[in-house]
Amino acid sequence: MSRVPSLSHRALPAPPGPFYDSESYPDGAINLSTAENSLLSKRLIEHMSRPIIMHPQHLKYRGTLLRTNLPTVEDLLPQYINDSFNPVVQVTSG
């Protein structure tokens, strides 16, 4: 029989009700301790239904977006792969 691990000591119990309802309990607690968030569902679907437009700068560290000399993901990823996975053929950025 496997033992179910307990929650982290940082986890807090769910807030006591009544929970938020725009009509019945507008001042109710908003429970964010569940993976499903019905309060944001409609808005998330609207947001995620829009086309995604990506540019190369979206894949760079935030600092490089501010025009600094910090390395980009493209600069650092080969070293990370080589150090973490030790491939037979070393990965390069070229």
Give the tens place of pLDDT for each residue, 28-51. Answer: 887 766 666 677 788 888 888 998
Predicted confidence (pLDDT) at residue 10 exceeds the cutoff of 70:
no
Span 54-78, pLDDT tens digits: 888 777 666 555 666 767 778 888 9
pTM of the predicted structure, to 2 decimals: 0.31
Q: What are the structure tokens assigned to 88, written together?
A: 């037979």
CB burial class (10 A; 0-12, 13-18, 19+) of residue 31? Answer: middle
Provide the residue ranges of all domains of the chain, joining segments of one domain with +. 38-94
Q: Where are the beta strands (DSSP E) in 1-92?
A: none
